[in-house]
Structure 1
Amino acid sequence: MRSVDLLVFDLDGTLVRSDEDLAAGVNHALKAVGMPLLPLETIRGFIGDGIPVLMRRALGPHASEWFSRSIELFNGYYSEHLLDHTALYPDVPDVLDHFDRKQKVIVTNKTEAFALKITHALGIAPRFREIIGEGAVPFKKPDPRLLQLVMEKWGATPERTVVIGDGVNDVLLGKQAGALSCACLNGITGRERLLALSPDLTCESLSDLKSLLC
């Protein structure tokens, strides 16, 4: 087992299953600007780098023409529908209870206002020292300066910090900042993409953390 003082969690695909609501927001925007809708599996492959990048990927060659309008449409729709299907993964409450005495932070590339709304509505916000989303600081995952700010604020060293997430950016964030990386293989990103990055730890479900970390 690895001994840690600070657990840094991703949000989408790690703590919450949110791909359906994100996809609905994307397709709402695409439909409104007259573009064809995209299947869920395609949109899942676009998630992880924040909403602006998500929409650019969905728009493809039409991004320059429709980007600003699509962002407005997405944000307007998603703000009202971000909890239609989004829910905690079943083992999240138990895992948070298990690590109750550890410092825990959420770091996500999701717009911070959306991240706060979801975590408060699902009852997990009080379990974390801090919830950092896009727009809160000048950096986003996988920029190591983001994790360095978090570790400095909460008095943790890289050797005793672990980044837990289902995305490429989560593994890279941990590695580039000298912290431990733990890839969640049951999230949005394909497991082979994550394993190719050689994360320090892997978990098939979040419950595995209880036997990996102390």
Structure 2
Amino acid sequence: MPQRFDLIVFDWDGTLFDSTALIVRCMQAAATDLGLEPPSRERAAYVIGMGLIEALQYALPGLDRARYPELGQRYRHHYFASAHEVTLFDGVPGLLQDLKARHHWLAVATGKSRRGLDEALAAVQMKSLFDGTRTADETAGKPNPQMLLELMREFGAEPERTLMIGDTTHDLQLARNAGCPAIAVTYGAHEHESLRGFEPLLVAHDVPTLRDWLLTHA
């Protein structure tokens, strides 16, 4: 059966990496450090996938703009101190290896910083599985389509042959803005109902379901 997609692009946090709870906890801790009322779990989780400063501005609105970089520093302090506590979702390494064996190009498009992604890839020893990566601090953050458009140009992939996979509405809007089909996963940051509204090709509730669909339809 001919392959439908040449390039498969994954979000990182909440899609491949089980880090949603850690991100929420670190955002709340950063707010406490600055004497601010911490955001709720729902508000903090909603921003996962955005660039850090944009995420903090949403999670903690009304703060003097000059203080967001300081808040970002405190977030990074807590995150990098605890990043070793989380890992890939069960089944992710096998899924990626299966897709590589089928000769898909694999990439990551993430709201993380370059440092954050590189350290995460090194920690789980997965860097060699990805052909390309883009982070929010080296291009535009989601849902701006720039990072996905750059990856498509890098590999000469057409939008209809590029698949975006993510756990947030930001990921799905990114795909829509770039003219690409998408898959939503519900085991990360955003709820099923908000994801389904984007009409993804699949709403996967776990990694085995995602793997089965990709190996059959991608």
- Provide TM-score, normalisation by structure 2: 0.87
Q: Distance in 2 between matches of 1:23 and 1:187?
A: 12
Residue 63 of structure 1 and its aligned partner are, at CA, apart by: 4.5
* Equivalence map 1:112-151=2 (5 Å): 112-137=114-139, 139-151=140-152
Q: Quick one: which amino acid aligns to residue 20 of structure 2?
A: D
Contact persistence 2:20–2:188 (CA under 8 A): no
Q: Distance in 2 between matches of 1:177 and 1:110?
A: 20
- Provide TM-score, normalisation by structure 1: 0.89
Q: Distance in 2 between matches of 1:146 and 1:188?
A: 21
Answering whether residue 50 of structure 2 is matched by residue 46 of structure 1, we say no
Structure 2 partner of 1:158: 159
Q: Quick one: which amino acid aligns to residue 156 of structure 2?
A: G
Q: Distance in 2 between matches of 1:102 and 1:18?
A: 26
Structure 2 partner of 1:98: 98
Residue 51 of structure 1 and its aligned partner are, at CA, apart by: 1.5
Answering whether residue 118 of structure 2 is matched by residue 89 of structure 1, we say no
Q: Quick one: which amino acid aligns to residue 176 of structure 1?
A: N
Answering whether residue 110 of structure 2 is matched by residue 108 of structure 1, we say yes
* Equivalence map 1:69-84=2 (5 Å): 69-84=70-85
Q: Quick one: which amino acid aligns to residue 172 of structure 2?
A: V
Q: The residue matched to 1:110 in structure 2 has which SS?
A: coil
Say if 1:194 and 1:136 are closer, same or farther in 2 by CA, change over 3 A. Answer: same
Q: Distance in 2 between matches of 1:135 and 1:183?
A: 24
Alignment deviations for residues 26-79 of structure 1 (CA, whole Å, 9 cap, x no partner)? 122212111233443442123221221222233232353632321121223322
Contact persistence 2:53–2:69 (CA under 8 A): no
Moved more, 170-179 or 181-190: 170-179
Residue 181 of structure 1 and its aligned partner are, at CA, apart by: 0.9
Identity in percent: 25
Gaps of 5+ in 2: none
Contact persistence 1:8–1:104 (CA under 8 A): yes
Q: The residue matched to 2:48 in structure 1 has which SS?
A: coil
